[in-house]
Every structure is written in C-alpha cells, then in structure tokens.
C-alpha cells in the first residue's frame, strides 16, 4: 500500500516549515484505537501537523492488518499533514516492512552500533526508503532509559558535534536524532538541577544549519497525572521529566520533531485509575477508557500549544 493512499504525507515539508517557523512537530506514540483517536482529535482541534509514531513493539501488539485498518478508518486527508512513522526501527528488514505497509517515515536506530556500522545501516535504509519517497531519521549518541520492550540503556552518551556532518553526508538521511540529556521513560532526572546540554545542541545546529534535528525522550512527566495515579492505587515514586521551559527553548531551534510517549501513557493511566477508584463496581471498558482518551487528548493539545508551538501551523 502507498502511504498517499491513506492520506498520509512524509515529513519533508512539515520539517521545512517547522525550521522556518521556529516550532517543532510532535511525534506522539500510539498502539490501539483509543490512543490513535486521542492523538488525531488533538491534531484536528489544534490544526497542528502531527507524526503518528508506532514502535516495533506497538506494531507487534496491533498486528499489521489491525494497524492498517485503524489508519484507514481514521480517514486522514493530505492537507491535515499527518505522517505515519516507524519509531526506533532496528534493522533494514523492519524498515522495509514498515514502508511496504504504508509508513511515510521510518527511523533506523543504529545508535548502539559503532559509528561506521551506524553509517552503513542508516545509508542502506535511506537508499531503500528514498526510492519510495519515505523520510528517514537516524540517531547519533545514546539516550538512557527504557526505549522499547527489549532495549534498556543504563548509560547515555551525548552526540559528538564533530561527527554530525560526516554522518549526515554519508548516510543521506533526512533528519537526525541527537542525545543532549533527554532519556526515555518517566524517570529522567533525579533533581531539578539536571538540564539539557544546549551547548551541544548549538554546536550541532551550527554544523548543520537548517537540517532537521530530533529530540527523543522528551516527556515532561506532568506532576498532576503522576499524583492522580499515585492517589488512585499507582506507585510511581520519583517520576520526573524534562523541564518544560527547556523543551520550549529546544522547539524554537533546529529541533523540529519532539517525541512524546510517556506523558500520554501517564495521562491515559490516570484516567483509567481515577475512574475505577471512584466507581469500583464499573466493569464496562468503554466507561473507563473514555476518560482516558479525554485525558490523553488534553495532554496532546497542551503540549502542541505550550511546548511544540505547532498550533495552527497547517
Ligand atoms: O521510545 C520508545 C517509545 O516509548 C515506544 O515504547 O516500544 O514500549 O512502544 P514501546
Ligand atoms: P518519552 O519516554 O520521554 O515519552 O520518549 C518517547 C520517545 O522518545 C519515543 O521514541
Ligand atoms: Zn525514542
């Protein structure tokens, strides 16, 4: 299936617009009807471009046919500027599979490989994807935290500004995820003093002016949702995200894609827990999933409006 048949677009124009307009396009992760519904409702209410991100594990969870059914059922129009993106693809085969399914953008995450092998694999993916007009993101540097069901990195390493020009030239990728102090999951910082390394970001942006950069692990972990979860039977002690002022600052630079998953999970889970705690006799999933969808839509709208700066950018 061609992605344009689903009304999807690749990320080329949305990134060019984001860099020119000094904002970032959100990449929100989905894995079922409820999460897809929430993200699309937020994009449509705010007239924001949006990247629907599906990880390898999310793809496995939904299954190819169900994923395609959900995307077809979403009735997306090209002028909505919605991309379907493979998040953290780890092999050429997975990227090819996603492209054959109808993804308009793929990430090849070979960041754990040595520099030369990362270049080789990212280049192979770019060569294949570009034949199908699909955008490609690669990563240099490593983020700490839980990235997917199988991958957990204890240590992070910042992207080396000296590497980025060679990497981008030799791979031919369309965007580059960089490591400047963000991490995956809900436990990102031990204290409020830990901040993003804008010095590295500025050095990279200087080397690659107007080239799209990507920030993974960029949830701010809203304390209100963490509290709601903890007050309703959950146990998320010490969860702490990236400072929102710093995220806003990053969105105004060459960072034109900001990945958020944990915040959406927290909002969704808060809705489920609160509803079930208040209504212990409830056992109709529609009754506790509806507030979860509403919470997730609200968090997407809030971040589009106050962090990404992408509201009304269609
Ligand atoms: O960065 C990765 C996302 O948070 C996806 O996580 O593999 O559990 O869907 P997942
Ligand atoms: P968070 O865990 O900060 O939401 O990061 C999500 C992400 O980077 C998906 O690729
Ligand atoms: Zn990520």
CA of 148 to the centre of ligand 1 (A): 4
CA dihedral 99, 100, 102, 106 (to 10 degrees): -10
What does the pLDDT read at residue 152? 61
What does the pLDDT read at residue 193? 85
What does the pLDDT read at residue 144? 76
Instruction: Tell me 142's DSSP state.
Output: B
CA of 132 to the centre of ligand 3 (A): 24
The β-bridge relationship of strands 151-153 and 144-148 is: antiparallel
Report the chain's C-alpha Rg in angstroms: 18
Residue whose CB lies within 8 A of the most ligand 2 atoms, among 236, 260, 265, 299, for a mutation test: 260
d(CA 103, CA 54): 10
| Greatest alpha-carbon span in the chain | 60
Nearest CA to ligand 1 atom 6: 148
What global pTM score does this model have?
0.97
What does the pLDDT read at residue 169? 98
List the chain residues with pLDDT less than 70.
Answer: 146-154
Catalytic residue among 65, 87, 210, 302: 87
40 in Cβ contact with 6 (< 8 Å)? no
Question: What are the Cα distances from residue 123, in Å, to 8, 73, 299?
Answer: 24, 34, 36
What does the pLDDT read at residue 42? 99
CA of 281 to the centre of ligand 1 (A): 32
What does the pLDDT read at residue 140? 98
**Superfamily of the domain at 3-308:** Aldolase class I (3.20.20.70)
pLDDT in tens, 118-175: 999 999 999 999 999 999 999 999 887 766 665 666 677 999 999 999 999 999 999 9
The question of whether 192 is a catalytic residue gets the answer no
pLDDT in tens, 40-54: 999 999 999 999 999
């Amino acid at each position: 299936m061609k992605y344009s048949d689903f009304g999807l677009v690749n990320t080329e124009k949305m990134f060019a617009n984001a860099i020119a307009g000094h904002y970032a396009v959100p990449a929100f992760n989905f894995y079922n009807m409820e999460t897809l519904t929430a993200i699309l409702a937020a994009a449509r209410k705010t007239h924001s471009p949006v990247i629907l991100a599906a990880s390898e594990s999310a793809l496995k969870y939904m299954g190819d046919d169900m994923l395609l059914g959900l995307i077809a059922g979403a009735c997306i129009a090209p002028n909505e500027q919605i991309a379907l993106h493979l998040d953290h693809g780890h092999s050429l085969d997975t990227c090819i599979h996603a492209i054959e399914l109808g993804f308009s953008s793929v990430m090849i995450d070979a960041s754990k490989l040595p520099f030369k092998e990362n270049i080789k694999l990212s280049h192979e993916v770019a060569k294949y994807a570009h034949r199908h007009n699909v955008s490609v993101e690669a990563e240099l540097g490593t983020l700490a935290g839980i990235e997917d069901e199988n991958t957990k990195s204890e240590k992070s390493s910042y992207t080396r500004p000296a590497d980025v020009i060679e990497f981008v030239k030799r791979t031919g990728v369309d965007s580059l995820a960089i490591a400047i102090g963000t991490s995956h999951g809900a436990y990102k910082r031990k204290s409020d003093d830990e901040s993003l390394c804008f010095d590295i970001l500025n050095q990279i942006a200087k080397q690659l002016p107007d080239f799209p950069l990507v920030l993974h692990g960029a949830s701010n972990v809203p304390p209100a949702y963490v509290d709601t979860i903890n007050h309703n039977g959950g146990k998320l002690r010490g969860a702490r995200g990236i400072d929102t002022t710093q995220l806003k600052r990053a969105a105004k630079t060459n960072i034109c894609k900001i990945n958020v998953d944990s915040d959406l999970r927290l909002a969704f889970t808060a809705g489920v827990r609160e509803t079930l705690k208040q209504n212990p006799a409830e056992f109709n999933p529609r009754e506790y999933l509806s507030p979860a969808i509403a919470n997730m839509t609200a968090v997407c709208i809030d971040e589009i409006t106050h962090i990404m700066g992408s509201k009304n950018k269609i």
